[in-house]
Amino acid sequence: MKGLGELERSIMDILWAESGALTAREVGRLIADRDLAPTTVMTVLDRLTRKGFLQRTRDGRAWRYQPAESRDAYIAELMLEALDLTGDRSAALTRFAQAVSGTEAETLRRALTELEEE
């Protein structure tokens, strides 16, 4: 999975925050802090769709866009890609485990326990 550019990330943040699919016009209104042409928003949405980050469905003459995966799934994929960059996965995982808070460590323990029970 490729990383996201700054504008792509801003648009994905908007779509991840919404409960339903949005049109390019709606996304453009929600990203109003940046003075973007509507065609720029449409181009980025199309690019994100081709990259597999978004799904789109027809709504009359417009397209509605929604994330293909959750933000959590995207972040987990980034973490796995970062782990692949290390020559020693065990060392990287150990270092990560040492850096998380107690609450986060407990979350990891629960997730690992649930995986073992499956």
DSSP 14-50: HHHHSSS-EEHHHHHHHTTTS---HHHHHHHHHHHHH
Last residue within a domain, chosen from 44, 67, 90: 67
Across 14-34, average pLDDT: 91
Q: What is the pLDDT of residue 2?
A: 64
The residue segments making up the domain with residue 34 are 6-67
Q: Within this chain, do residues 33 and 15 fall inside the same structural domain, yes or no?
A: yes
Q: Which structure tokens are listed for 115?
A: 């995986």
- Rounded to 5 degrees, φ, ψ at 64 are -110, 135
Exposed, middle or buried, 54 (CB in 10 Å: 0-12/13-18/19+)? buried
Q: Within this chain, do residues 81 and 61 fall inside the same structural domain, yes or no?
A: no
Coil, helix or strand at residue 64:
strand
How far apart are the C-alpha atoms of 21 and 32, rounded to whole Å? Answer: 18
Is 1 among the domain residues?
Answer: no
HSE value, Cβ hemisphere, 13 Å, CA-based, for 40: 11
The pTM of the whole model exceeds 0.85: no
Q: Within this chain, do residues 27 and 60 fall inside the same structural domain, yes or no?
A: yes
In the structure, what pLDDT confidence band is assigned to residue 59 with cuts at 50, 70 and 90?
Answer: very high
pLDDT for 49-58, tens place per residue? 999 999 999 9
Q: Within this chain, do residues 31 and 84 fall inside the same structural domain, yes or no?
A: no
Based on the structure, what is the number of domains in the chain?
2
- Assign residue 39 the CATH number of its domain: 1.10.10.10
